[in-house]
Amino acid sequence: MSVWNPDNIRDVAESVGIGNLNHDVTENLARDVEYRVAQVLEEALKSMRHGKRTVLTTQDISLALRNLDVEPLYGYDSTRALRFGEASLGPGQPLFYVEDEEVDFEKLINAPLPKVPREVSFTAHWLAVEGVQPSIPQNPTAADSRNLELVSKGPNANSTLSAMSGTGDVSVKPLVKHVLSRELQLYFEKVCSAFLDETSEDYRTSGYSSLREDPGLHQLVPYFIQFIAEKVTHSLKDIFVLTQVMHMAEALVQNESLYVDPYIASLVPSILTCLIGRQLGGNADLVEQFALRDMAASLLSRISQKYTHASHMLKPRLVRSCLKSFLDPSKPFGAHYGAVIGMQAIGGSEVVRVLIVPNLREYSKLLHDGLEDSARRPAAERVLTALVSVLASLRGKQSLTNGHTVTDDLRARLSDAVGEILASRILEAGEMQLAHIILEA
């Protein structure tokens, strides 16, 4: 005897045109329907239990039908309670339907407008750095996750339970302590203070040697780079601080035990600032300012050679930044000096031949105006010396040969190529071979 009523089977059969169905057939079909319904309910209960719920919903039934490869039900929403109405089509033929919710039109018009939603915004953060998850609000620690499981939720939350779980009125502490050991924190503070100590050169040297040679500092790399960026941003008028943070960047790059590749994009802007920045060191001595630019150019040369495999666009982007600064007449000669030596350090003689030489004729006019101005003359002289030096790289390893003489035709063609000032400086130095190489380039 089946729990499912065989009369229902007979009614369905008659609705599709099958009459006089055998009693044994209806009994067997009723048992099969009972089995199928039980199977669907078992699958739906699995979804309910996995969802940590105690109420079976229409969504659970739909998932069960999908798992059993049966076409799911349509038109049922589990977000609100269903209200069924009954209508009669005739004697013994009731029709059930879902009642629509009635809304008072006047009440809807007079209802207050909803709040304007906030604009969509996106933020980026480090999910993991070299396999270590940074302890930031977006990445809660394991202890925080365990505490959140004990926190009572909802409008009737128990404050006592929150206090027991350790989350009641707890201020957020600096999350660096959750990542770095006390020893690493102390080391970071000591090294930073050593680099910025103006009183003891030995202290600075020991800090530089430690950062350049010590292994096991990979967790501190992003903090050192952030420290460099902050000091460059806020100490543009302090030539000592700028010089020391460049030494720090140099030590990081030279340390063979550190994996700095992911942080090069964050380190390069600080070095570029010290290379082609407008004002470095405020009223510091001109020699110290240009020494800082020389150090930054040397550091960029090392970075472009060592890390070009990690980013194929590293060299082109660096050269493009230097070229843009070199071609900007509004920038001071200090920035032009950094751009010239930077391009030569990054790209070598090929960059000098392709990018610097074609622009020397126009740049010589700006250089001439700078040499005529007594205030800008020292910096302009530095740029002129740097241009002659980078042009000498075109000669490569070829040795000077005698036999070339200065002719009016040679002077005129060289002046037309690089400008009168540079042509005179090259010919006065006796660089006849360099002059011919420039004309051939």
| CA distance linking residue 354 with residue 346, whole number of Å | 13
Q: Give the model confidence (pLDDT) of 327-356 as tens digits.
A: 988 999 999 999 999 999 998 888 888 888
pLDDT of 15 > 70? The answer is yes
Over residues 102-122, the mean pLDDT reads 84
Q: Give the model confidence (pLDDT) of 244-291 as tens digits.
A: 999 999 999 999 888 888 888 889 999 999 999 888 887 778 889 999
Count other C-beta atoms under 10 Å from residue 336's C-beta: 27
Q: Give the model confidence (pLDDT) of 165-205 as tens digits.
A: 444 444 444 444 446 788 888 999 999 999 998 888 888 99
Q: Give the model confidence (pLDDT) of 286-315 as tens digits.
A: 889 999 999 999 999 999 888 877 777 888
Residue 129 or residue 320, greater confidence: 320
Q: What is the pLDDT of residue 163?
A: 46
Yes or no: say if 85 and 99 are a contact pair by the CB < 8 Å rule.
Answer: yes
Q: What is the pLDDT of residue 178?
A: 43
Q: Which residues pair with 129 in a beta bridge?
A: 132
Q: What percent of the chain has pLDDT over 90?
A: 22
Does the structural domain 179-311 have CATH classification 1.25.40.770? yes
- Which among 293, 298, 215, 322 has a CA at the least distance from the CA of 250? 298
pLDDT grade for 119, boundaries at 50, 70 and 90: confident
Domain boundaries of the chain, sorted by first residue: 1-75, 179-311
Going 305 to 306 to 310 to 314, the CA torsion angle's sign is: negative
Give the chain's mean pLDDT. 81
| CA distance linking residue 319 with residue 355, whole number of Å | 9
| CA distance linking residue 64 with residue 49, whole number of Å | 13
What tokens were used for 99? 């009642």
Going 198 to 201 to 207 to 211, the CA torsion angle's sign is: positive
Residues composing the chain:
441
Q: Which residue has the tokens 């040397």?
A: 298
Contacts for 188-196: CB closer than 8 Å, 24+ residues apart: 188/220, 188/223, 188/224, 191/224, 192/227, 195/244, 195/245, 195/247, 195/248, 196/231, 196/241, 196/244
Does the structural domain 1-75 have CATH classification 1.20.1290.10? no
pLDDT grade for 114, boundaries at 50, 70 and 90: confident
Yes or no: say if 190 and 207 are a contact pair by the CB < 8 Å rule.
Answer: yes
Residue 31 or residue 403, greater confidence: 31
| CA distance linking residue 59 with residue 114, whole number of Å | 29
Count other C-beta atoms under 10 Å from residue 363's C-beta: 21
Q: What is the pLDDT of residue 343?
A: 92
Q: Give the model confidence (pLDDT) of 30-40 as tens digits.
A: 888 888 889 99
Q: What is the pTM of this model?
A: 0.58
Name 232's Cβ contacts closer than 8 Å, sequence gap at least 6: 242, 245, 270, 273, 274
pLDDT grade for 209, boundaries at 50, 70 and 90: very high
Q: What is the pLDDT of residue 431?
A: 66
DSSP letter for 331, please: S
Is 214 in a helix, a strand, or coil? coil
Q: What percent of the chain has pLDDT over 70?
A: 83
Yes or no: say if 236 and 277 are a contact pair by the CB < 8 Å rule.
Answer: yes
| CA distance linking residue 47 with residue 59, whole number of Å | 9
| CA distance linking residue 169 with residue 204, whole number of Å | 43
Domains 1-75 and 179-311 share a fold: no
Yes or no: say if 257 and 214 are a contact pair by the CB < 8 Å rule.
Answer: yes
Helix (H) or strand (E) holding 149: helix 142-150
